[in-house]
Structure 1
Amino acid sequence: MYKSVMDSLRDEAGLDSQSATPLYKRLQNGIRNAVEKGVIKGEEALPPERDLANTLGVSRVTVRKAVGNLVEEGLLVQRQGAGTFVAQRVEQPLSRLTGFTEDMKDRGMAPSVKWLDRAIGFATPDEAIALNLSPGAPVSRLYRIRYADDKPMCLEQATLPSDILPDPTEVSHSLYLVLEKQNSRPVRALQKLRAQLFEMEQAHLLHVQPGTACLYIERRSFLNSGRPIEFVRSYYRGDSYDFIAELQL
């Protein structure tokens, strides 16, 4: 296995080329490309640092710097006494309306949250259109970082009419749990997805490099009556999430 991995890393990194790009950057990109192509899969171990250096003909300092940067990005994880592994990716089906907390618990992962803001405000034009509100209507806003097993996975900005969520500080972890208790949990949603790049502040909050891949998801959620009650804008790490859709004829 290591031979095929090493061959792939050498090709992906372009270590034999005369590029002016520093070796550690080329190796870093090579490892990332190998992971994205499935040469090294989630939860699989990277070859040991010494083997990478000797086989690829680079210094251990180069390997250490490339691997360290990918650990900071969250693509790799280091386990004391065990080695360096590719971080597990989360596969999220697009056919079910569930909350982040439920999704992570279903996968045996521990969800947590860091609150950036919980406040009452007035609907912006975009929020008013999404929630079918009058311009300037009172709304509750939730802005947080969502974690799985202590790894930051996404930034989430949720807006709800204030009569649905009068006090945003009621939400400690799961918004849908709070809504369910008051019989206001949405039953369907419309989602829009697009690829973009993380901006400086977003990247800092999620511990990735600015300009790395981001999956932006915009969701409007509805009650049985058809009333829109939730407008969510989420920014997912492109190195950690795969969204799955089932298509039928």
Structure 2
Amino acid sequence: MQAKNLSRSPADAIARHFFRLAPLGLSKHAQLRESIIQAMDEGELHYQDKLPPEKALGDLLSISLGTTQKALGSLAAEGYLVRQHGIGTFISQSRRAIQKSWHYRFTDPETGEHLPVFAHLIGRSLVGDGPWTKVLGPDAQGYVRIDRCISIDGRFTCVSELYLPASIFSGMLEISAIRLEDVNLKEILETEFGYPTIEAKGGARVVRLEPRIAALMELESGSWALKINILGKTRGLQPISYQKMFVPPTDCELDMDFMGSS
């Protein structure tokens, strides 16, 4: 189980995530952006924390000033940071836990209470056929793939890959990234597209993690984890979503009621 670290300085917290994400092959500005968001997710950066000066941060990470400014500028535009001219750059908001999470309802082994869940968008794209085609059915327009990291109270990280028929949900590629943070995506499928999820069933098995997934979960490549496949259906039992969840070893019990009835 990954413990929260509340004593690490903002510079140290950002650097830790930055170098950990290096194997993913992200551009440097994307790598810095992800580092800051993940440090927020894990409770290492807090509301009103001041970030290091841009040049100092760039020197620490061995990246250019322009790259640093691009990353911080995008985070400010999305509402994560506040940049005050002549004063500095500050964390602007606390993350809000997902309300009515269905698939990531872990309980604290000591209190028995559900732990707060925070979701961060890693990427989205239009993809072709794959294992999801068999369960969702063929779609001439392809499939929308949405990748997110799911922080469970900053204790450990899960990874989600969600696949949707593009003929219905291509608009998910146009929704602003900030709207896909800390939200149950099934609610967007219902409110924005009119397709409520009325049934969700899944199966699980233990797998060895590929390097990309392992890095996101802060585990060694080849580590064991639980992989859960979940098929969501709407009215008439029409399949509308296929999700792959990766869960690391943890002493927190996972509620397997995928519809989140409680």
TM-score w.r.t. the length of structure 2 is 0.50
1:174 aligns with 2:184: yes
Max Rg structure = 1
Does structure 2 retain, via aligned residues, the 8 Å contact 1:140–1:167? no
How many residues in Structure 1 have an aligned counterpart in Structure 2? 154
**Residue pairs, 1:57-136, within 5 angstroms:** 74=2, 76-77=3-4, 99-100=102-103, 103=105, 107=113, 109-122=115-128, 124-134=129-139, 136=140
Tell me by how many angstroms 1:204 deviates. 1.3
Partner deviation per Cα, 1:132-184 (whole Å, 9 max, x = no partner): 124x5422110111112234421110001123322224351321120221431
Aligned-pair identity in percent equals 14
1:184 corresponds, among 195, 204, 207, to 195
Whether 1:227 aligns to 2:232 is no
Unaligned runs of 5+ in 2: 8-99, 258-262
Could you tell me which of 145, 150, 153 is aligned with 2:154?
150
Q: Which has the higher contact order (CA 8 A, sep 6+)?
A: 2
Q: Structure 2: how far apart are the matches of 1:208 and 1:125?
A: 26
Unaligned runs of 5+ in 1: 1-72, 81-96
Give the Å deviation of 1:233: 0.9
Query: Aligned equivalents of 1:164 and 1:112: distance in 2?
Result: 26
Report whether the alignment pairs 1:213 with 2:224: yes
Question: How far, CA to CA, are the matches of 2:143 and 2:252 in structure 1?
Answer: 30
Distance in 2 separating the partners of 1:139 and 1:245 = 26
1:71-121 deviations in whole A, cap 9, x for unaligned? xx61x45666xxxxxxxxxxxxxxxx95347x4799564432232211223
Question: Larger strand proportion, structure 1 or 2?
Answer: 1
Task: Return the alpha-carbon distance in structure 2 between the equivalents of residues 110 and 186 of structure 1.
Answer: 22
Q: 2 CA distance for matches of 1:152 and 1:164?
A: 33
Distance in 2 separating the partners of 1:109 and 1:131:
31
Could you say if the C-alpha distance between residues 239 and 211 of structure 1 is closer, same or farther in structure 2, counting changes exceeding 3 Å? farther
| Cα RMSD, aligned residues only | 3.1
Q: CA deviation at 1:244?
A: 5.1
- Residue 143 of structure 1 aligns to which amino acid in structure 2? D
Give a deviation string over 1:30-88, Cα, whole Å, max 9, x none. xxxxxxxxxxxxxxxxxxxxxxxxxxxxxxxxxxxxxxxxxxx61x45666xxxxxxxx
Structure 1 residue matching 2:170: 3-state secondary structure:
coil
Counterpart code for 2:160: E
TM, length-normalised to structure 1: 0.52
